[in-house]
Amino acid sequence: MGDAETWEKTTNALRDAMEDFGLEYVVNEGDGAFYGPKIDFHLTDSIGRTWQCGTIQLDMQLPEKFDLTYTGEDGLKHRPVMIHRVVYGSIERFIGILIEHYAGAFPAWLAPTQVRILPITDKHVAYAKELNDKIFALGLRVYLDDRNEKIGYKIREAQVQKIPYMLVIGDKEVEEATVAVRRRSEGDLGAMKAEDFIAMLQKEIAEKK
């Protein structure tokens, strides 16, 4: 659609924009949309596959077809340029790419559940619930597993479900107002004050590690 001069003009505009930002790019001749050239953004996953996700398309054809105009500072009518922008493509497809990239082991900032609290017995549940409420109030995604199951089973299940952090609560933790921290990727990190663990997690989330 459109003439060669218009295509050349819009292609050069996109090329100039990328060069102004210092972006590396590869030209795929003949790969534009039917109404104009486009920039496709490709992501590389953990096993080297590339996925086309975001795109910006420059369209000078549809404003012409629909006879779109705007009044410029000079008081005259001008023809606008239409920009089609897609950030992720299909959100379901993008989430599928994320799941494959991380193999389900999301970093803490992205994980649906960031912390799972695991009381060892019923007598530890009250402190665990208090801790759960405190962490939840800070906007963190926490889940209290107070089922009547052995602690080893709870830990294994959380590990299989790829929860980033587990907080084991027993007699010592209740008495000393601490938490026994387990990180999915490293195992036992030892005892911490609850405030110190929360600060560590918040820092990790803020830095998107």
Across 144-159, average pLDDT: 96
Quick check: 199 pLDDT over 90? yes
Average pLDDT on 185-203 reads 94
At residue 24, the pLDDT reads: 86
What are the boundaries of each domain within the chain? 4-102, 115-206
Topology classification of domain 115-206: Rossmann fold (3.40.50)
SS3 labels along 70-105? EECCCCCEECCCEEEEECCCCHHHHHHHHHHHHCCC
pLDDT at 107: 96
Prediction pTM value: 0.73
Asked if residue 52 lies in contact with residue 40, where contact means CB atoms within 8 angstroms, the answer is: yes
Say if residue 50's pLDDT is above 90.
Answer: no
Q: What local confidence, expressed as pLDDT, does residue 31 receive?
A: 66
Q: Kindly report, residue by residue over 5-17, the tens digit of the pLDDT.
A: 778 888 888 889 8
Mean pLDDT taken over the chain: 90
Reported confidence tier of residue 30, pLDDT bands at 50, 70, 90: low
Per 3-state DSSP, the chain is made up of helix, strand and coil in percentages (nearest 5) of: 35, 25, 35
Residue-wise pLDDT for 82-132, tens only, equals 898 888 888 898 899 889 899 999 999 999 999 999 999 999 999 999 999
pLDDT for 70 beyond 60: yes
CA contacts within 13 A on the Cβ side of 39:
20
